[in-house]
Amino acid sequence: MQQLFTPDFGLMIWTVVTFLLLVLILGRYGWRPLIDAIEARERTLREEREAAEKARLEAQRIEAELKAGLAAIDAKAQQVMARAAQEAEALRQKHTAQAQADAKRLLDKARAELEEEKRRLVVELRSEVGRLAIAATEKIVRKTVDEGVQKGAL
């Protein structure tokens, strides 16, 4: 057991030679594939990170476009609603004016009919008053004539 811990010059040389041969063999055949594999993995990770960043930026761009599109649609909807409200108000005013004009026309027509009926009734009343006056005068005249005839007959 003690020999393992005691330095032996021949063993040290063989250990160094073996180590150098191992380094040389690994350097020639082992390190390059290992380093290539590590570099390939780093390259893959970098490409995936770049692709993820591009996807994130694209998602942000699409989100901004959608927000802008929604804002434009909202503004357009507000314009349509405002225009519809204006048209509805104009239509309401038009119908109100038309209804007022129709009411005035009907009122004027009713007044004209009332005036015509009043004039006709006045003419009819005058005619009736005249007829009644003639009838009353006729009765008075007959009575007077009858009294005169009776007095003359007596």
DSSP string, the chain: -HHHHS--HHHHHHHHHHHHHHHHHIIIIIHHHHHHHHHHHHHHHHHHHHHHHHHHHHHHHHHHHHHHHHHHHHHHHHHHHHHHHHHHHHHHHHHHHHHHHHHHHHHHHHHHHHHHHHHHHHHHHHHHHHHHHHHHHHHHHHHHHHHHHHHHH-
Residues 37-46, mean pLDDT to the nearest whole number: 94
Residue 138 lies in a domain: no
| pTM across the whole model | 0.43
Residue 21 lies in a domain: yes
pLDDT at 3: 64
Q: Which residue has the higher pLDDT, 30 or 85?
A: 85
Residue 14 lies in a domain: yes
pLDDT at 136: 86
Residues 57-86, mean pLDDT to the nearest whole number: 95
Residues 50-76, mean pLDDT to the nearest whole number: 95
Residue 42 lies in a domain: yes
Domain that residue 46 falls in = 7-111
Residue 129 lies in a domain: no
**Tally of structural domains, the chain:** 1
pLDDT for 21 beyond 60 = yes
Q: pLDDT confidence of 152, banded at 50, 70, 90?
A: low
Residue 142 lies in a domain: no
